[in-house]
Amino acid sequence: MAESDYNQRVPEPFQDPITATTRFCAVYGQPIQHSASPAMQNAGLAALGLNWRYLAFEVPPDELRVALNGAQAMRFIGVNLTVPHKLLALKMVDALDASARTWGAVNTVRFEGRDRRGRWRPLREFAEAPRKVRSLGFNTDADAISQALREDLRLKLAGAKILLLGAGGAGRTAALKLASEKVKELFLVNRTLSKAEGVAKEIRRRYPAVKVTVGYPTGSVNLILNATSLGLKPADALPFDEKQFSISRTQAVYDMIYRPSRTRLLKLAKAAGRRTANGLGMLLYQGAKSLEIWTGKNAPLAVMRRALEKPVRKPE
Ligand code: ATR
């Protein structure tokens, strides 16, 4: 199934047309054209009965600031940020929610206006565009990681031993979040050793109770978590070295990649009888939380999941 299927196969979820009162959200990234977020978020917005739309824009990093200012000036409800914008945005928003401060990245921005009493309120609460507007940055990725591991793999994080592959943006957030969940031991493996060492150092400083090792475990683990991009392409190698670690030494495998829905890693794990899940849950939970931040309503999770699953699950 072609990657562009999110653009081709998703049925229009809205009954009402776009009018002069339609409100907008968007995702910015580069590249962006294969993003699943518009399909998921528009399904959610339609199910909530909102006359809002969620758009996707290809924004180069050197124009992120002007793109954020543009959305603010046009009184968008909010935006999501994806690769390569999550760190850059930290310095570009007017204020940071505790989630963005804790995890050091912004994937969700909510625009807020000043009400008559001088309080900042989400733009959805204003019938007429307020004069003064600010941007507030959140991070919904980190919570989505632990939620997906708990719900999709039935994994108990406290006390767990985890082999984490990848120490880029996603790997760092995962490592810190897992440490905050009181895992017992983390093994960090990354092609570029210095990045894994940097993450290990940060964990030792912030979460000293967690034992962190750079390199493969000698014994068994409860989970392998793939946060590298290896597996996105069919010809990719496995994200770990089978000479140094055997899949039979883990109980479960989570791959943050959701397309393809079954990577080489997940196939290997499944064949070895391990519990497996792909990154669809993470995508869903981070998006659901963003929707809740913007709308103030519970996200219609089942509807949003269905919008994602249609194009993601492909016949093998
Ligand atoms: P993201 O925000 O998705 O984490 P990233 O920060 O670019 O993106 O991180 C990509 C991850 O995949 C990194 O861990 C990267 O390893 P390096 O830190 O050594 O770059 C890993 N990765 C990408 N291509 C790889 C490859 N061919 N072999 C091994 N690891 C790879």
Does residue 11 have a pLDDT over 80?
A: no
Residue 313: the pLDDT is: 46
Which of 191, 255, 265 to mutate for ligand 1's pocket (most ligand atoms within 8 Å of CB)?
191
> For residue 256, which atom of ligand 1 is closest to its CA?
3
Residue 12: the pLDDT is: 82
Tens-digit pLDDT profile for residues 210-246:
999 999 999 999 999 999 999 999 999 999 999 999 9
Mean pLDDT for 152-173 is 96
Gap from CA of 170 to ligand 1 centroid (Å) = 9
Lookup: tokens for 97: 């929610």
List, as one string, the DSSP characters of 38-92: HHHHHHHHHHTT--EEEEEEE--GGGHHHHHHHHHHTT-SEEEE-TT-TTGGGGT
Lookup: tokens for 245: 């670690």
Tens-digit pLDDT profile for residues 169-199:
999 999 999 999 999 999 999 999 999 999 9
Question: Residue 32's closest CA among 57, 55, 54?
Answer: 57
Does residue 315 have a pLDDT over 70?
A: no
Report the b/e string of 172-202 with b at 16+ CB within 10 A: bbbbbbbbbbebebbbbbbeeeebbebbbeb
> For residue 84, which atom of ligand 1 is closest to its CA?
2
- Residue 5 banded pLDDT, cuts 50, 70, 90: low
Question: What residues are labeled active site?
Answer: 86
Residue 92: the pLDDT is: 98
Q: How far apart are CA 256 and CA 265, in angstroms?
A: 11
- Residue 74 banded pLDDT, cuts 50, 70, 90: very high
Mean pLDDT for 34-50 is 96
Task: Report which protein residue has its CA nearest ligand 1's atom 23.
Answer: 229
Mean pLDDT for 48-59 is 97
> For residue 172, which atom of ligand 1 is closest to its CA?
4
Tens-digit pLDDT profile for residues 93-148:
999 999 999 999 999 999 999 999 999 999 999 988 899 999 999 999 999 999 99
Gap from CA of 89 to ligand 1 centroid (Å) = 21
Ligand 1: list residues with CB < 6 Å: 83, 166-171, 190-192, 195, 227-230
Gap from CA of 190 to ligand 1 centroid (Å) = 8
Residue 129: the pLDDT is: 84
Share of the chain above pLDDT 90, in %: 91
Gap from CA of 57 to ligand 1 centroid (Å) = 24
Task: Report which protein residue has its CA nearest ligand 1's atom 29.
Answer: 191
pTM: 0.93
Which of 228, 230, 257 to mutate for ligand 1's pocket (most ligand atoms within 8 Å of CB)?
228
In angstroms, the Cα distances linking 202 to 176, 210, 224, 230, 256 are: 8, 11, 21, 24, 22
Does residue 4 have a pLDDT over 90?
A: no
Tens-digit pLDDT profile for residues 268-292:
999 999 999 999 999 999 999 999 9
- Residue 8 banded pLDDT, cuts 50, 70, 90: low
Does residue 168 have a pLDDT over 90?
A: yes
Residue 166: the pLDDT is: 97
Residue 15: the pLDDT is: 87
Residue 314: the pLDDT is: 45
